[in-house]
Amino acid sequence: MEQSTTRKRPGVKLAGSVVDRSCHACAFFHTREEYYDVLLPFIKEGLQAGEKAFHVLDAQDHAEHLKQLEKEGISVSQVKQTGQLEVRPWEEAYLKPGHFSQDAMLELIEGVLKEGRGQGYPMTRLVANMEWACKKDVPGVKDIVKYETRLNHVLPRYDDVVVCTYDLSKHSASVVMDIMRTHPMVIIGGLLQENPFFVKPDEFLQELHQRGA
């Protein structure tokens, strides 16, 4: 696993483990309850530590998401007002403007991490719901696997934690297996672990090229 070139920072508690370096994890869930059981403590810890929280999810889920944060004891109005918490819909991230562009999204993610540091936050905890890739009628969504592996060229340069979430009931088994191979760490059954199936990005990009993907 590639290491961050930035300074080590205090360990981050995530899904039963402690992460002390740059982290790119995929999190597989079966239910929304499981999703929040795992992620709410992680989100709350970061906000209490004065870190940046950047979340991307379906606009239809924003109200429920903020309600869950409030139930966890987070003052949503306060952290949103200060800019410590930013919640974006897919249309202002992955599907902007109306399609998926790998290059644009890689630039956006890197920009978010740089901006957090520039604003004085010690780190950014980024959580992204990836169900936008199920929108088969949207141009570019088939490139999700290539995007996820290319993200491994970017994230090791930053001292942040990025969690990409996947609902197992909405993605095909073949996509799930490929996605797993693009993440150095994985959350399955509510537990974070080093991913034995991870393939280094250059190697996996070559495989995808040979497949014609």
Span 89-111, pLDDT tens digits: 999 999 988 899 999 999 999 99
Total domains, the chain: 1
Domain-located, residue 103 = yes
Please list the alpha-helical segments (H only) found in the chain: 32-48, 62-71, 76-82, 102-118, 144-154, 173-180, 201-211
The domain in which residue 58 lies consists of 17-211
Please state, in angstroms and rounded to a whole number, the distance separating the CA atoms of residues 41 and 200.
Answer: 30
Calculate the CA 79 to chain-centre distance: 20
Domain-located, residue 7 = no
Span 1-14, pLDDT tens digits: 333 444 455 689 99
Domain-located, residue 1 = no
pTM of the predicted structure, to 2 decimals:
0.91
Span 59-79, pLDDT tens digits: 999 999 999 999 999 999 999
Average pLDDT on 143-163 reads 95
Please state, in angstroms and rounded to a whole number, the distance separating the CA atoms of residues 190 and 141.
Answer: 27
Q: Percent helix, strand, coil in the chain (nearest 5)?
A: 45, 20, 35
Q: How far is CA 7 from CA 1, 22, 23, 30, 187, in A?
A: 17, 10, 14, 35, 25
Q: Could you tell me how many helices (H) and strands (E) the chain has, helices first? A: 7, 9
Domain-located, residue 53 = yes
91 φ/ψ angles, rounded to the nearest 5 degrees: -65, -15
pLDDT, position 9: 57
Domain-located, residue 114 = yes
* CATH of residue 178: 3.40.50.300
Domain-located, residue 2 = no
Domain-located, residue 49 = yes
pLDDT, position 2: 39
Instruction: Using pLDDT thresholds of 50, 70 and 90, give the confidence band for residue 53.
Output: very high
Domain-located, residue 10 = no
Strands 161-167 and 124-129, sheet pairing: parallel
3-state secondary structure 66-88: HHHHHHCCCCHHHHHHHCCEEEE
pLDDT cut 90: percent of the chain above it: 80
